[in-house]
Amino acid sequence: MRDQPAAPLVSASGLQKSYGALKVLKGIDLTMKPGERLVVIGPSGGGKSTLLRVMMGLETINGGSVTLAGKPYIRAGATPARTVIDIAVRRSIGMVFQHYTLFPHLNVMQNLILAPCKVRGEKKAKASERAAALLSRFGLGEKLAAYPSQLSGGQKQRVAIARALMLDPKLMLFDEVTSALDPELVGEVEQVILQLAKQDMPMMIVTHDMWFAKNIASRVLFCAGGVIVEDGPPEQVLGSPKEERTRDFIDRVFHIRQ
Amino acid sequence: MDSLDFTVVLRFRDALLQGLSTTLELTLICVVLGCSIGFAVGLARTSTNLVLRNLSSVYVEFFRGTPVLIQLFWIFFCLPLLLGIGLSNFASGVIALTLYMGAITSETFRASLKSIGREQYDACVALGLPRWTQITSVVLPQALLRAIPTLLSNCVSLFKESALVSAVGMADLMFIGSNISNNTARPVEVLTVVALIYFVIAFPLTRAVTVIERRILQKLVTWNQSKLHFVRLLSQEQEFDRWLAGRRTSSF
Amino acid sequence: MNYSFDFQSVTRNLGPLFDGLAVTLQLTVAANAIGLTLGFVLALLLMSPWRLMRLPVTLFVEFFRCTPALVQIIWFFYCVPMLFNVFLGSITMGILALGFNLAAFNAEAYRASIQAVPREQLDAGIALGLNPVQRILYIVLPTAFRASIPVLLTNGIVIFQQSALVAIVAVQDLMYQAKSLATQTYRPIETFSVAALIYFAVSFPVTQLVDYLERRRLAVAG
């Protein structure tokens, strides 16, 4: 990658995904350069969360392929069940979900070190050390022994982010990570993500929070009806969108037309 | 009718206790073996492998669909003929009750496996956990906790069903009880005491099931804060409805 | 395995097996009739506000739930005639023993589903101006009965299987016939396998129906 700085980190072409007769993704082409922070916005049911789940390798696909850092990652097969997903490549992606998905029977520390110990065979002591450092950076230094049920939503989501970072991902996916939070807790989670952005962590973010989108995005996609309607820098897509549908959506979100 | 004389039972105290210990030993062995089989079969029934799924379904459906007594007879009379080896009463009792326990606990485990949310599996994939780690570190502990109350009542069922081994001549509590009852011609006293012994052990366990079920339910609710939040919203709405309903009825 | 099968020894004697099945079915149907009705009455008594009413019923129910069915049946056959000086014929005795056992389990099923009727349903009933009796008749019972059907069916099929126990006290049901046929023909494998298949053929459709009902209920609820 050092030789070819312009090589894309992610390159997806012709992604199609259906649930039965319902087509959720209708052929999505997407390239993402290293260090880019992609924010995906759009109406509910427009396919943005599905796009992220496909990127994480959680879904089979009906058509298309994805490469990550030049390596083949996902390829559609003759049937959705035959979708080929390279597990080794998948391990270099981290994801944070809307509903935390911490393991409720493990405490914060155990949640963080489970994957490094079991996936990479890291020593428990070393993993714990890294985990503690990461948690204190996120302001959770005192919560190492707490169980998820003893944490607030914002704390849980920060733990979930730390857990994903333990595997040193090349790409982070955030799927509506603040949607389930009480309004006063949204800020602390967004701060952590902004902190990651400063370190040039490549990320794809699905969010409904336009303020956050504007602050973190290096590029914004507007996704509706299973296709990418508009793709550009945040000032353009959020400020003066070219497409009629994007303008409609942005106006409605910002309550300009009442 | 003669008057009841419970001192008869006291004379055979040691024999009855001996029988009880056989019953408990048998139950304990079959609980351990049966639960292990049950978990494996429960996993197999939720597997994506069609052969594995069908084989395990046939096993479970067959043992759920036939009387335990006939299963026991089959293993006691037929297995030695088929295998060409002798099986002791105890061995055939263990085999029969283990297979029975495996079938009923597999249903318990299957239900608890299904109740683990899709998101937990997503998180496993997102963290790249190998299949074996997913099962041992994430799925098993949660499934086990959810399954505990039902497993406990499965154990009570097994404890009760174990009385059947008396029908193939194994000297458990029931067998010794009926022998004493036949020899003393005091069935009312002896059989009542035998029933009471079973009751004294099974009853606290069934009560415990209820208590543990409630505790675990509470724990599961706090495990999922997002759901709790939802419940909270719902209950506020209900309070409003109740207030509204109260106002309507107060006019009567 | 060098056992040579001879299923003809069984197929020649299907007559007694089917006679046995008829007795087994008779026991099952009659026990279910007792279980469904007596169970419901017991459930209502279990929820009675009077402790004096609740206590004996609770004892009755718990006793049947917490002792082996085999013990109950043998107790019934040996002790009831001695204690009360009556013997009603072995099939009737079998029906009563199985019926009381089933009633205890069904009482719990009814009680659980009555108590599981959501509070809002009752609130809605109050809001609509229904009186307490109307609320029970039109809201609680229909909801509860529908919710308890899968458990009642399962209990019913369990008693079908448990009915095999009466063979031990010489009621000539399917199990009894199978056992005597196995002894006569020296063909236990074939005989018990065929008998097991007959039991299975009756139970399986019912358990499938229960699974279907459960799935539909979950689909509606979810």
pLDDT at A108: 93
Q: How far is B135 from chain A (nearest CA, A)?
A: 12
Q: Rounded mean pLDDT of B243-248? A: 36
For the record, the structure tokens of C105 come out as 């389990």
Q: How far is A42 from chain B (nearest CA, A)?
A: 23
Whether the predicted pLDDT of B227 surpasses 50: no
In this structure, is residue A45 part of a structural domain? yes
Decide if A205 is inside a domain: yes
Partner-chain contact C70 B174, CB within 8 Å: yes
- Looking at residue C122, its amino acid is L
- What value does the mean pLDDT of chain B take? 83
Residues with Cβ within 8 Å of A20's Cβ and at least 6 positions away in sequence, in order, are none
Task: Name which of B45, B63, B69 to mutate to probe chain C: the one with the most chain C Cβ atoms within 10 A of its Cβ.
Answer: B69
Confidence of residue B230 (pLDDT cuts 50, 70, 90): very low
Q: Is residue A2 part of a domain?
A: no
Closest partner CB to B126 (pick from A56, A100, A104): A56
Pairing type for strands A37-41 and A219-224 reads: parallel
Position of tokens 């917490």? C66
Q: Which of A94, A99, A163 sits opposite B226 (nearest CB)?
A: A99
**Span B10-43, pLDDT tens digits:** 888 899 999 999 999 999 999 999 999 999 999 9
In a domain, A106, yes or no: yes
Q: Within its chain, how far is the Cα of B67 from the centroid?
A: 16
pLDDT at A12 over 60: yes
So where are chain C's domains? 15-221
CB C97, CB C72: distance < 8 Å: yes
Q: Give long-range contacts, CB 8 A cutoff, 24+ apart: A22-25.
A: A23/A226, A24/A50, A24/A226, A25/A50, A25/A51, A25/A54, A25/A61, A25/A226
When pLDDT is averaged across residues C15-40 and rounded to a whole number, the result is 94
Determine contact: A90 vs chain B, CB below 8 A: yes
Residue A186: which CATH number?
3.40.50.300
- A68, exposed or middle or buried, with CB in 10 Å at 0-12, 13-18, 19+? buried
In this predicted structure, what is the pLDDT of residue A99?
85
With an 8 Å Cβ cutoff, are C2 and B191 in contact? no
Answer yes or no: do B192 and C75 touch at CB < 8 A: yes
In a domain, A212, yes or no: yes
User: B–C: how many Cβ contacts below 8 A?
Assistant: 144
Percent helix, strand, coil in chain B, to 5, is: 85, 0, 15
Classify A204 as helix, strand or coil.
Answer: strand
Could B122 and A58 be called an inter-chain contact, meaning their C-beta atoms sit closer than 8 Å?
yes
**Interface predicted TM-score (ipTM) of this complex, two decimals:** 0.86
Residues from chain C contacting residue B198 (CB–CB below 8 Å) = 66-68, 71
pLDDT at B239: 39
Is the Cβ pair B128, A164 closer than 8 Å? no
pLDDT tier at C1, thresholds 50, 70, 90: low
CA distance C155 to chain B (A): 12
Neighbours of C218 (CB within 10 A): 10
Q: Does the beta carbon of A60 lie under 8 angstroms from any beta carbon of chain B?
A: no
A91 vs B contacts (CB less than 8 Å) = 128
> Rounded to a whole number, what is the distance in angstroms from the first to the last CA of chain A?
50
pLDDT at A4: 52
Range of the domain at A118: 10-254
Is the per-residue pLDDT at B234 higher than 50? no
Give the pLDDT of residue B48: 82
Q: Which of C117, C72, C68 is nearest to C97 (CA)?
A: C72
Task: Supply the pLDDT for residue A1.
Answer: 44
CA distance A89 to A72: 8
- Asked if pLDDT for residue C78 goes beyond 70, the answer is yes
A164 domain residue, yes or no = yes
The two structure tokens encoding residue C221: 């609820």
Q: Where are the beta strands (DSSP E) in chain C?
A: none
CB spacing of A103 vs B222 below 8 angstroms? no
Cα Rg of chain A (Å, integer): 19
- Residue C157: how many other CB atoms lie within 10 Å: 22
Percent of chain C with pLDDT over 90: 48
Q: Is the pLDDT of residue B249 over 60?
A: no
pLDDT tens readout for residues A113-129: 988 888 888 899 999 99
Neighbours of chain B (3+ CB pairs under 8 A): A, C
Banded pLDDT at B2 (limits 50, 70, 90): low
- C and A in touch (3+ CB pairs within 8 angstroms): no
Q: Kindly report the CA angle at C93 between C92 and C96, in degrees rounded to 5?
A: 85
pLDDT at B233 over 80: no
In a domain, A5, yes or no: no
Query: Buried b / exposed e across B25-50, counting CB within 10 Å, b at 16+?
Result: ebbebbbebbbebbbebbbbbeeeee
- With a CB cutoff of 8 Å and minimum separation 6, the contacts of A5 are A34
Among the partner-chain residues B125, B141, B229, the one whose CB lies closest to the CB of A58 is B125
Rounded alpha-carbon distances, angstroms, from residue C180 to B233, C68, C161? 65, 24, 18
CATH assignment, C15-221: 1.10.3720.10
Identify which of A250, A188, A197, A256 has the alpha carbon closest to the alpha carbon of residue A224. Answer: A250
Separation between Cα atoms, residue C62 and residue C54, nearest integer Å = 12
How many domains is chain A built from?
1
Q: How many CB atoms lie within 10 A of CB B206?
A: 15
**What is the DSSP-derived secondary structure letter of residue C3?**
P
Sign of CA dihedral B59, B65, B66, B72: positive
Chain C residues with CB inside 8 Å of B161's CB? 68
**B65 vs C207: CB contact, 8 Å cut-off?**
yes
A199's CB contacts (< 8 A; 6+ apart) are none
Mean pLDDT score across all residues of chain C: 87
